[in-house]
């Protein structure tokens, strides 16, 4: 019997387990495979090193203090945020995730590897634990609170009846690789390539030699474009070859993945003794696809909520509701709704509005400032800003 069972030892699940274990409660952290590398660009705010994981500094990640973005017609917008407190890092997810797991284990969480969560344990029609598949058969873990953190494909999230299966037009689909070789990339920059359709590509330098490269689609574009085809097209495009002139890069790893494209499923976050966090709950930013930082935030707040409920001695939807109502969760939800509302506008008429925005930013410094504030500081664009883009796109 555990106080809390956390299914999924990614950033959200590991942070949740760490916080609860530090408070003195018994935590089972269930993971399908600690050697699995999640397909992901690996970009995240450097704030996680100061607020959540100072241990990451030991891995010497390269600080990113700028970005170079291209619209669908390759209009360019470059921004340097050095000294403004908005730095980012890019890491190999295998290194990052294993460090976060080790922090949870050091705090007292019990890690159970090679366990695939697939169903709940019931008693008198109430959920009292989870079932996992292992090489030695079915195992059961019993707990007072269950935290679902096992990603987009979580069977438990669907079995809980808190949310249904994802629909294809609610998802983003991405494919990426970690490669090694000589490049023309600036290692302190992130390179983002918006496409005419709903999608984008990226090149994120990890260090002097390694870089993460990938692309993807979202919503209805998932049905209109073949992911493997656009990935190969992206890697071999002339504008990519300008940065990657070598012919034979060493491919360290490659993978494909789905992610939420619609934001947080706010109505699906809690049950009587269940909380859903991280990717499983949609804590993935629309447009950018960044989910590490919001996932960690969701794990931290779910952990604090679980601790309060355990201390109170009452586990119910009412005592878990503070997770859903926490100001930081509400802030993430609002931010994601804003970005979601801009998707249609950006990609209207084969990305014409985004092309126009970048062109206007090249000639108008005040307009450029507004574009930067929207992309990098989550500012809400004014109606005047949107109207100027509309009229200039005609």
Q: What is the pLDDT, as a whole number, of residue 237?
A: 93
pLDDT for 280-294, tens place per residue? 999 999 878 889 999
Report all structural domains of the chain as residue ranges with CATH numbers, in order of start. Answer: 2-36+93-166+262-339 (3.50.50.60), 342-393 (no CATH)
pLDDT for 182-192, tens place per residue? 999 999 999 99
pLDDT for 88-115, tens place per residue? 999 999 999 999 999 999 999 999 999 9
Q: What is the pLDDT, as a whole number, of residue 82?
A: 82
The encoded tokens of residue 49 equal 């090193």
Q: What is the pLDDT, as a whole number, of residue 219?
A: 92
pLDDT tens, the chain, 394 aa long: 999 999 999 999 999 999 999 999 999 999 999 999 999 999 998 989 999 999 999 999 989 999 999 999 999 999 998 877 778 999 999 999 999 999 999 999 999 999 999 999 999 999 999 999 999 999 999 999 999 999 999 999 999 999 999 999 999 999 999 999 999 999 999 999 999 999 999 999 999 999 999 999 999 999 999 999 999 999 999 999 999 998 889 999 999 999 999 999 999 999 999 999 999 999 999 878 889 999 999 999 999 999 999 999 999 999 999 999 999 999 999 999 988 888 888 898 889 999 999 999 999 999 999 999 888 887 889 999 999 999 998 7
């Amino acid at each position: 019997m555990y106080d809390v069972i956390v299914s999924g030892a990614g950033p959200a699940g590991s942070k949740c387990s760490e916080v609860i274990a530090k408070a003195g409660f018994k935590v089972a952290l269930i993971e399908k495979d600690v050697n699995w590398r999640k397909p992901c660009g690996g970009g995240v705010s450097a704030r996680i090193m100061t607020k959540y994981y100072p241990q990451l500094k030991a891995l010497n990640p390269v600080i990113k203090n700028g970005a170079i973005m291209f619209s669908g017609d390759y209009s360019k917008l470059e921004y340097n945020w050095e000294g403004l407190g908005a730095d980012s890092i890019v890491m190999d997810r295998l290194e990052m995730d294993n460090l976060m797991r080790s922090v949870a284990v050091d705090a007292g969480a019990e890690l159970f590897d090679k366990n695939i969560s697939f169903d709940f344990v019931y008693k008198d029609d109430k959920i009292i634990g989870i079932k996992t598949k292992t090489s030695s058969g079915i195992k059961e873990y019993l707990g007072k609170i269950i935290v679902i953190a096992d990603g987009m494909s979580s069977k438990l999230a669907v079995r809980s009846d808190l949310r249904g299966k994802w629909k294809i037009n609610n998802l983003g689909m991405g494919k990426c690789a970690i490669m090694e070789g000589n490049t023309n990339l600036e290692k302190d920059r992130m390179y983002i390539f918006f496409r005419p359709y709903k999608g984008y590509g990226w090149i994120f330098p990890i260090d002097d030699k390694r870089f993460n490269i990938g692309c993807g689609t979202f919503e209805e574009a998932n049905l209109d474009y073949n992911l493997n085809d656009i990935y190969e097209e992206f890697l071999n495009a002339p504008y990519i070859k300008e940065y990657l002139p070598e012919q034979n890069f060493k491919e360290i790893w490659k993978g494909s993945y789905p992610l939420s494209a619609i934001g947080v499923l706010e109505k699906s976050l809690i049950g009587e003794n269940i909380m859903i966090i991280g990717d499983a709950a949609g804590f993935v930013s629309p447009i950018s696809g960044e989910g590490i930082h919001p996932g960690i935030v969701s794990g931290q707040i779910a952990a604090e909520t679980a601790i309060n409920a355990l201390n109170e001695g009452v586990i119910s939807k009412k005592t878990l509701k503070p997770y859903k109502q926490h100001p930081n969760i509400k802030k993430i939800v609002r931010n994601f709704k804003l970005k979601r509302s801009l998707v249609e506008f950006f990609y209207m008429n084969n990305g014409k509005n985004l092309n126009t925005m970048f062109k206007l930013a090249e000639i108008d410094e005040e307009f450029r400032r507004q574009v930067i504030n929207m992309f990098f500081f989550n500012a809400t664009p004014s109606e005047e800003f949107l109207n100027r883009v509309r009229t200039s796109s005609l």
